[in-house]
Chain A
Amino acid sequence: MITNILAIIAAISAAAILFVKEVFHAALLLLITLLCVAGIFVTINSEFLAVVQILIYAGGVMLLIVFGIMLTVRSKPVELPNADNKIVSGLFGASLFAMLVYTLGERIMPTPTTSIAPEEFGTLLMTRFAIPFEVAGMLLLVSLVGAIVAATQGKES
């Protein structure tokens, strides 16, 4: 029940991204969608993922995007230019959705398994999934350095 309500809110705010005029409003709508997805993670007993979703997506990624918007938009709010391929891309998206819904209607639905507690999650992170964890940390470090270099290259410091 709660999952349905959250799914409807997420779907509405995601669909509104297609129609808003300003980039900042689109970012706020995306934030609502991400929080609803975090709520769905809670309702299906994946609390750790919900926390990660809120901390990293709603905190980190949205902060980055809002900074990006504020640094690229001029002093007066710029209206998004009307894309001339709106109808074609809308058709592409709608047909992809129709195809996915058709395929979902045909398949036998999965039978999900039980969840794991956050304590187990931490233990697994340090034992069974230690190597992917280290690789992910390395990837984060490299992309951080890369982002700094890409953003400041060519400027005299």
Chain B
Amino acid sequence: MDISTSETILYLAAFLFCVGFTVVLTRRNLIMMLLGIELMLNAANLNLIAFGNSSENQFFILFIILVAVCEAAVGIALVLRVYHFYKTSSPDQISDLKERA
């Protein structure tokens, strides 16, 4: 891996992170927000591997991927619960703290 490759990967990681950030900020749908978080975690992985693929870096990325899987599983379960309760998956319409009578 030469310098230009690692530079390309760094720029791609920056772009992916910004796209994920914007997807989370526009918050049109809860699942879209999860997609954005996955994109940002991928950008973090790419950024780490751009600084060299030694064993420490690769193991760090492996564990980041594992944590991302846990986050996705719990997140999807919560989204399903919220959807069954509110009948919507748009975060702007989920504003009740109290259970409806």
Q: Could you tell me which A residues sit within 8 Å of B by CB distance?
A: 3-4, 7, 10-11, 14-15, 17-18, 23, 26-27, 30, 33-34, 37, 40-41, 43-46, 48-49, 52-53, 56-57, 60-61, 64-65, 67-69, 71-72, 80-83, 85-86, 88-90, 92-94, 96-97, 100-101, 104, 109-116, 120-121, 124-125, 129, 132, 136, 139-140, 143-144, 146-148, 150-151, 153
For chain B, the count of residues having a C-beta within 8 Å of the partner chain is 67
Partner of B53, one of A52, A82, A101, A112: A112
Describe B's contact surface by its main secondary structure. Answer: helix
- Contact partner, B25, options A53, A89, A121, Cβ 8 Å: A89
By beta carbon, the residue of chain B nearest A2 is B5
Contact B80 A3 (CB under 8 A): no
Contact B55 A124 (CB under 8 A): yes
List the B residue with the shortest CB-CB distance to A149.
B77
Closest to A34 in B: B42
A71 to B45, CA, bound (A): 30
Residue in A closest to B28 when the chains form the complex, CB atoms: A80
Pairwise interchain contact B27-A112, C-beta atoms closer than 8 A: no
A33 CA to B19 CA in the complex, in Å?
12
Are the C-beta atoms of B9 and A104 separated by less than 8 Å?
no
CB-contacts of B31-59 with A (<8 A)? 31-32, 34-35, 38-39, 42, 45-46, 49-55, 58-59
Bound-state CA distance A56–B69 (Å) is 7
A138 to B63, CA, bound (A): 12
CB-defined contacts of A69 to chain B, threshold 8 Å: 31
A-contacting residues, B68-97, CB 8 Å: 68-74, 76-81, 83, 89-90, 92
Determine if B89 and A61 form an interchain contact, defined as CB atoms under 8 angstroms apart.
no
Residue interface mask B15-34, A partner, CB < 8 A = 1: 11111111101111111101
